[in-house]
Structure 1
């Protein structure tokens, strides 16, 4: 368990190289973070620019000001970003995720790329032996890890995804990179390539968590948009457990614009507590 000052100090430490590269220095040279009735703040200033972090009510906000003439005052600041982070449950991974998010925001404001996002170790995939024994189920990271082993041209995108978010974010990876490869294989309908793809998807689906199954049926195979030819190409390769959900998902996405928009535009990632299991279709709002 941490407190607001410790968490904010961790975020500022992770961004120190970038902030310095932007020509900004801490206003309080002592480095001490003061707590004013539960609200903590850290300020940095440079020539004609300023940056402020405020941590209050489990949310870190980033505000900045750029001014060519005159002293920067409070009314010059504009909030650019915020990140929900509960100090009581925040982990090092959560802090890295906030750092990487703010890294991009600050780079966008001040136009410098002197520092790169903090690299983290790739998450460990679930082994086949463990999944088949029933002791643990395949998680979304295992899907991403094995998918990029089959399609190594996407390995760097997988690594970048893990480094950016501090964990694997499957919606971002598949919607922006993986689905294009999947759809190309399905359109070509080459038996060898189809078997390779669906051997992977079937294996992960059958022994996967509810979330993992949803990623396969909704995020990945739902991208066929109920194209009857594409679905027909898949019929002989999908496992029995997966076939019905995939067909239902495609029909539903075609009939529901709001569900399709949720799939194509998932909410911005924020660290969250574990949720109860939900069905594949309930993840679409059904």
Structure 2
């Protein structure tokens, strides 16, 4: 189910990536969808489904060949969706073969008020960031801002702050480590193998639900090292770190502020409702007394 949903979302977001307003609206609905899924505790799965497509929104893949129908926008959409579907099928096959009893996630349903606050916060952040990124940062790794907001933001304040700090520290440390490798290891094959090793380590850490900062270090190292072809390691490193830190700041500061604001509004509405209810009871009591 998740691979199919990711494939569909990839096609939609790659198609929307060239139009800032459409991109902002689509990502706003993605945020609302993730928030709605938290009513059943499915928001962690929804984040997995939506995070990779969000990266492609700002920096959609380019055609593999420079001729024929592969050079069209339709081909880009089809190729992106096909690659995602193949990747999902491969992941399911490998997981089934080597992890017949994979770790089971814990789904904790969120209260309606929390889900509304969470979804609204994500919609505002993702929609706004998508509009800005597609308007002024096409061709860069600005999609990592959207991914970071998705993976860092959580319904609770404490968890959001913790993940924002851990992601920032881990990304910065991983970026510095990858930069050092790029400066002192000139052999591309060795760099690629180190990237694969980091990626494998990141997968193991994620499956074991280990320290989030340590996972961020391994993931950042893997992404930078595996995207360093053509001498682009330092440029990739800088973009990865800066855009991830920007996303962490958005998630860690603005999400908390929006959630606090919406929570205060909700409490005020609840207080007014309670006041009106008490006033109605008192009025009913007086009328009963007068009738006696």
Decide: shared fold, TM above 0.5: no
Return the TM-score normalized by structure 1: 0.28
Higher strand residue share: 1
Higher helix residue share: 2
Higher relative contact order (CA 8 A, sep 6+): 2
